[in-house]
Structure 1
Amino acid sequence: MELTWAIIWSCLMRVPVRHWRTLFHYLRRLEASFAEAKADGRAYVNWHLREDGVIWISEWGLTEAEQKGRCALPDGFDRTPWLRPALALDAVAPPLSALSEVALFLDHVWTVPAPLVPPAPTPLKPP
């Protein structure tokens, strides 16, 4: 990231002569921004040029300290949860014999109880 003659020449070709004074002012500021970004250890600087010679920076890379701060995890964070043993929370599910009786509140006016075992399918007969 440094201000090269190719960048300056490209800017001169895109900006009308009447705005060159403004352009050179912003090119000096862009050079200072490049130096600051290089001193901070930033990887890139994304800058734009308007037709009136104004240069503005839309984005620049993060420093290592900023990246570490952005990706920081708490001290007790477990990076490999699949390696730790399973937690013994509750007893295993009850046996199937206990599940055979369904105890539901049924509104006897609107609800018709369905059998627990579905009926056997009836074979189709020709018409």
Structure 2
Amino acid sequence: MELVNNSIVLREDRNLLVVTHLSQYLYFVTGFGGLIVPLVIWLTSKDSVIGMDEHGKSIINFQLSLILYLIIGIPGILFFGLGILVLIFSGILSLIIPAVNAIKASNGQSPSYFGTFRFIS
């Protein structure tokens, strides 16, 4: 389905939304691509794909929240010992939540990332 809005053609591309969500797993393969690749996909196609702006913002907010959890969790291990719980929590979130939201994107639903701070609104 395509919509014409101020000479910009919007297209519905659920596959690109799913790929954007699943690209977060690049952290486990390369160590750094889980934030960069979704950011590039979001910035290049937020004006041309229906729903990309919402999904992209959610993904970037989630990745920034995970980085914040790591920044808090690592010193928390040394000082309180409870930082290991924060790291386990963020690890579980980073494994499960992108897959759940990829399935939601393929069904045309809005993303919902648990434990995310809204850096970009």
Normalization by structure 1: what TM-score?
0.28
Query: Per chain length, whose mean CA-contact separation is higher, i.e. which structure has more relative contact order (CA < 8 Å, sep 6+)?
Result: 2
Higher share in helix: 2
Normalization by structure 2: what TM-score?
0.29
Q: Which has the larger radius of gyration?
A: 1
